[in-house]
Amino acid sequence: MEAAHPADRVPTDATPPDGQPPVRSTAGPTPPTAGEPALVESSGGLAPLADAGDHAAPPARKDRARSERSPRDMALSLLVLLVPIALLLAFYRGVLGGDEPATVDPAPAIEQARSAGAFPVSPPEGLSSGWRTVSARYQAEAGGGTLRIGYLTPEGRGAQLVESNVPADKLLPAELKGGQPQGPADLADGSWQRYTARGNEQALVLLEPNRTVIVVGDARDNELRQLATAVR
């Protein structure tokens, strides 16, 4: 096989005969040598291709800026959530009385106890409006009947009035959880006795032949005495 003669090779930019335009090569730009920037063709000629490393810094800066703003964005998101919750709580407490305890009418339980006729029923009289009735129930038992009325005192503490004809030796251990007598109470009616009670509660007890009256709760001593005095 004969080697191609140099004259047979097509020059990249051959000089045409006189009167003809120069022949331009379509083979593209010559690859750059090591250390030289690559060239790209533009409307104004060949321009160096920018190094890819020149564009690596901006994304890193954007990521740092985004991470620096994230705590602020989280705080704003929490604020958007907390504002409506605070408004709902204010409406619940201020308009709907959400902090007010649910009260009941003790009249049906008192009437049921009177109808049973097991013992003289003496509901409290003369208590101020600060006393709120939160529970009332009459329960008939094998040994008699028991009326229980629960109160929330003006100071926001609990007190309960118990009237029953169940024998005292059974009633007191059940109601006072093993409470023991502590001596006479400082009341106009000297028949009331002080008793210890469950937990941090204390009690005032009135023992009568046909009924036992108990005032018990974690209310202060003055409020317990006020409730006991209101029982006629």
pLDDT tens digit string along 130-150? 999 999 999 998 779 999 999
| Residue that wins the pLDDT comparison between 90 and 48 | 90
Poorest-pLDDT segment among 151-160, 162-171, 178-187, 215-224: 178-187
pLDDT at 183: 92
Q: What is the mean pLDDT of residues 141-170?
A: 94
pTM > 0.85: yes or no: no
pLDDT at 102: 84
- Output the average pLDDT for the chain: 78
| Residue that wins the pLDDT comparison between 145 and 47 | 145
3-state secondary structure the chain: CCCCCHHHCCCCCCCCCCCCCCCCCCCCCCCCCCCCCCEEEECCEEEECCCHHHHCHHHHHHHHHHHHHHHHHHHHHHHHHHHHHHHHHHHHHHCCCCCCCCCCCCHHHHHHHHHHCCCCCCCECCCCCCCEEEEEEEEEECCEEEEEEEEECCCCCEEEEEEECCCHHHHHHHHHCCCCEEEECCCCCCCEEEEECCCCCEEEEEECCCCEEEEEECCCHHHHHHHHHCEC
pLDDT at 52: 47
Poorest-pLDDT segment among 49-53, 83-87, 178-182: 49-53
pLDDT tens digit string along 54-100? 445 555 555 555 555 577 777 777 777 777 787 777 766 666 555 56
Confidence band for 162, pLDDT divided at 50, 70 and 90: very high
pLDDT at 5: 47
